Chain A
Amino acid sequence: MDDIIELRGLAAGYGATPVISGVDFRVQPGEFVGIVGPSGSGKTTLLRTLLGAVRIMGGSAHVDGKVVGRGSRPSVGYVPQLETIDWNFPVTVEEVVLMGRAMDSGIWPWPRKADRRQMMELLERLGIAAFRHTHIRNLSGGQQQRVFLARALIRSPRLLLLDEPTSGVDIKTRDDVLHLLVDLNRDGVTVLLSTHEINAVAAHLPRVLCINHGVIADGPPRDVFTPETLKRTYGGDMVVVHQNGLTLVADTPHIFDLEGRVLEHRHVSEDAAVR
């Protein structure tokens, strides 16, 4: 099967200096991949490069069989970081979702019946149909995430890119969003998301890519999340625990005495697997 994403020796960035370089990365249709890495490591740059929004300085990038950055528009849905959204902007849920069809629904300013019908189907599937006329700010974090997911899905994309979809939401909402993405992935949508939630990636995703201006490791979370890899990715010591089939990553703990004084800041240099 042809790869839906194929990056060969990719270097990309803003200005003169590349943010990411030497990136070799392939994704097959139907995969679900998480990208993790420290702030500023190039996660967003990598996603935006796939969208053709960042200058490619070296290597090549193909998405859905098309060369990125040559005017082609592959079938990609994109959900940006919600922190970038102006929540005071006067738009309702349905107006935001229909933006996803802005370039494909004719010259008239009103939406076509087919687009409206597709929007309603999506809103019902995502459980936010009752909020279609609601202003986007008057929604919970999970509902807001679903609105932007619906905007991406209304294009019926083969590939869905999400930039930190679980950022700033509570643990229940995070779990809901990730289960929703797993369901979409089961329906055949290839999903690539960036996140800081290492444990959520380990719990929900079959494949993870660690990056820090380049690819550090790529594979199943259980193989990739080792203290060595995480140290190379984040530059710090972390504890990795395997228990009951789960992989859990934790900060190096401070050990306190009964009075709350720090006795030890435990640095772990080797796999501290607990089985």
Chain B
Amino acid sequence: MSFFTEPLAFEFFRRALLAATLVGGLTGLVGVFVVLRRMSYIGHGMSHAVFGGAVVGYVAGINFYVAAGIWGFISALLINQTTRRQQIAADAAIGIVTTASFAVGVAIISRARSITQNFDAALFGNLLAVTETDLLVIAAVFTFTIIVVFFSYKQLLFLTFDPDVAPVYGVRAGWLDSLFALVLAATIIASIRIMGVTLIAASLVIPPVIARLVTDRFAYMLFVSTGLGALLGFFGLFMSYEFDIASGASIVLLSAAAFAAVLAVVLIREWTRTGRLSIGNRSIGSAEREAMLD
């Protein structure tokens, strides 16, 4: 029991535990849309872009959230404009804009080695770095995201499932895309202290993929992914303390183990049912229609 009771004696841990649970739930919720809209690479890229802004803000003495927020928003606009002109593919545009932004941060750190230590937390997550302000920001972003998803649920579902047709039925795709980009940027910025720049993408992807393995319904997937993300954040933080490893790394490792376990259960169940090692229609990232082509 000391695995659970010992760290709870510390205030910094209780604060970090709440933050990690909220961040896990938040990334699990937002991640459903990220994964189903094939935006995993954007999530990965945006987290790196935000790092550049965080470093510039630190050097210039600007509040972390303000600097990272403005930088992230500008990066998102640049990606959007580059891809909208259709001269450069979306993944290439993301690669250029976000790695250039990340490189700005690395270049500044290289010039001023004294600040390297402060950015370890931003890169890999550090439960010691969580402040009351961070907790408030995470809670505010989570609340905002829940409100957006709740009141835009039907439109978001339609736009995510059928982005070509949804606007034809009156769904305001441009407005919703911008709103979602804002939610994604806010989620990444709010999660950086716990997850770290390099590991946020995994927390956006793994819970929704596990949720997809266990449900065929979009609404259930939202609940399962959010709950699972929160649980993985909660237990991942205890692991972080117990094994003295970065919080982002422990949460991602626990998530990966959970994914492997659920995948194994699904595969065994399918094998006993059909005699084939398959996850049936529960894959993500493939839109082929074998059934139609039979």
Main secondary structure of the interface of B (DSSP, over half): helix
B residues bordering A, Cβ < 8 Å?
36, 86, 150-151, 153-155, 157-158, 160-162, 164-171, 212, 215-221, 281-289, 291-293
A144 CA / B291 CA spacing, docked (Å): 11
Query: How close is A217's CB to chain B, nearest CB, in angstroms?
Result: 28
Question: How many angstroms from the CA of A90 to the CA of B86 in the assembled complex?
Answer: 30
Among B220, B286, B292, point to the contact of A168 (Cβ < 8 A).
B292
> Separation in Å of the B282 CB from the closest CB of chain A?
7
Do A88 and B169 touch across chains, with their CB atoms under 8 A apart? no
Which A residues are in CB contact (< 8 Å) with B160?
A: 89
CA–CA, A53 and B162, complex, Å: 14
A197-215 interface with B by 8 A CB criterion: none
Inter-chain pairs besides A53-B167, A99-B157, 18 sampled, C-beta below 8 Å: A83-B289, A84-B164, A85-B287, A87-B289, A88-B286, A90-B36, A90-B215, A90-B217, A91-B216, A95-B218, A99-B158, A102-B155, A102-B171, A103-B155, A109-B154, A141-B291, A144-B292, A155-B169
Determine how close the nearest CB of chain B comes to the CB of A111; give it in whole angstroms: 8
Contact between chains at B216 and A102 (CB < 8 Å): no
How many cross-chain pairs have Cβ atoms below 8 Å apart between A and B?
106
Does chain B have a CB within 8 A of A37? no
The 10 closest A-B pairs by CB, nearest first: A109-B153, A103-B170, A137-B281, A102-B154, A135-B216, A86-B287, A99-B158, A51-B168, A102-B158, A168-B292
Interface pair B283/A88, CB less than 8 Å apart: yes
Contact of A88 among B151, B155, B219, B287 (CB under 8 A): B287
Query: Known: A90-B217, A91-B217. Is A78-B168 also a contact (CB below 8 A)?
Result: yes
**Bound complex: CA A214 to CA B221 (Å):** 46
Interface members, chain A 130-156 (any B CB < 8 Å): 135, 137-138, 140-141, 144, 155
Closest to A81 in B: B164
Q: List 25 A-B contacts (CB under 8 A).
A: A48-B168, A53-B167, A78-B169, A80-B165, A82-B292, A85-B162, A87-B291, A88-B285, A89-B36, A90-B212, A90-B217, A90-B218, A91-B216, A95-B219, A96-B161, A102-B170, A102-B171, A103-B154, A103-B169, A103-B170, A103-B171, A109-B153, A109-B154, A137-B281, A168-B293
CB distance from A249 to the nearest CB of B (A): 24
- Closest Cβ of chain B: how far from A239's Cβ, in Å? 29
